């Protein structure tokens, strides 16, 4: 038909493939959206950042084959980050479930070193993230942004854990994002023991990364798992993120890493026109 309209050719080339994936979903939890983009070739950093800005989700993951491993980078709408848990889980989901890559273990070259991931039982996906080491600090570190807190811990230069009274207090927090800029950490976590069906519940704020409150934060477990084992003696924990979308995570602590696990689903897929 197009020949009769004097169309000389039809462009059938496609851009990079992408998938919108909800990571760390639960029965009534919608998880954290991440866009996973499969690249055939490297793109300039400014182009990657512009794409992430257009996607508008908390993290866009760019994955590319690199020998027998994969190159993986993560961008918020405003900056590249060193580590992202939910976008890594989303990437494992795409490789294993959407592309059917025949690998029992995936290895990713990242700004945080080589990370690994895999499919687990009962539909769970798991990934190994670098563990943090946690130390107690004064409650004045959080500058009162969470009101009265029981304890505060620092995990390196990136994460702060503030322990609030209970799940009701956690859900009732009304945080001014401007005040969070004065807390010395890229991830600022409000945490309580317990919550519906889990060991620990959290809320995570990251304004320095261009995010107000994050939906579900897999990298938070790098600090939370060591904090929990010191508190309870248990190397495993289940976590509910009490954000508007909600999410469920599981973790197991090892000497050098934390295995973080959860469920994921594809919301839609398509191609980029670049």
* C-beta of residue 149 within 8 angstroms of C-beta of residue 162: yes
d(CA 267, CA 207): 26
Per residue, what are the HEC states of 186-253? CEEEEEEECCCCCCEEEEEEEHHHCEEEECCCHHHHHHHHHHHHHHHCCCEEEEEECCCCCEEEEEEE
Which one of the listed residues 59, 105, 193, 213 is annotated catalytic? 59
Q: Taken in order 33, 111, 51, 101, is the CA torsion positive or negative? A: negative
Active-site residue flag, 259:
no
* C-beta of residue 36 within 8 angstroms of C-beta of residue 87: yes
Question: Largest Cα–Cα distance in the chain?
Answer: 77
Catalytic annotation, residues: 59
């Amino acid at each position: 038909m197009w020949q009769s309209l004097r169309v000389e050719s039809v462009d059938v080339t496609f851009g990079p493939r992408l998938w919108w994936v909800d990571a760390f979903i639960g029965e009534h939890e919608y998880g954290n959206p991440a866009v996973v983009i499969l690249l055939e070739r490297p793109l300039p950093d400014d182009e990657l950042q512009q794409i992430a800005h257009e996607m508008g989700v908390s993290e866009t993951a760019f994955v590319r084959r690199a020998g027998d491993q994969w190159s993986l980078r993560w961008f918020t709408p405003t900056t590249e980050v060193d580590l992202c848990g939910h976008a890594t889980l989303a990437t494992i989901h795409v490789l294993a479930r959407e592309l059917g890559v025949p690998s029992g273990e995936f290895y990713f070259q990242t700004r945080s070193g080589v990370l690994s991931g895999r499919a687990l039982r009962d539909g769970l996906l798991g990934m190994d993230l670098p563990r943090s080491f946690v130390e107690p600090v004064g409650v004045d570190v959080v500058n009162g942004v969470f009101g009265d807190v029981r304890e505060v811990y620092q995990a390196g230069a990136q994460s702060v854990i503030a322990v609030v009274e209970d799940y009701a207090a956690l859900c009732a927090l009304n945080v001014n994002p401007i005040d969070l800029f004065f807390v010395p950490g890229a991830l600022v976590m409000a945490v309580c023991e317990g919550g519906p069906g889990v060991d620990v519940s959290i809320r995570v704020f990251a304004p320095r990364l261009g995010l107000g409150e994050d939906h579900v934060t897999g990298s938070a477990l790098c600090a939370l798992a060591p904090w929990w084992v010191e508190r309870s003696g248990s190397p495993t924990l289940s976590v509910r993120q009490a954000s508007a979308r909600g999410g469920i995570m599981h973790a197991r602590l090892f000497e050098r890493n934390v295995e973080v696990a959860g469920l994921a689903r594809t919301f839609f897929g398509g191609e980029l026109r670049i």
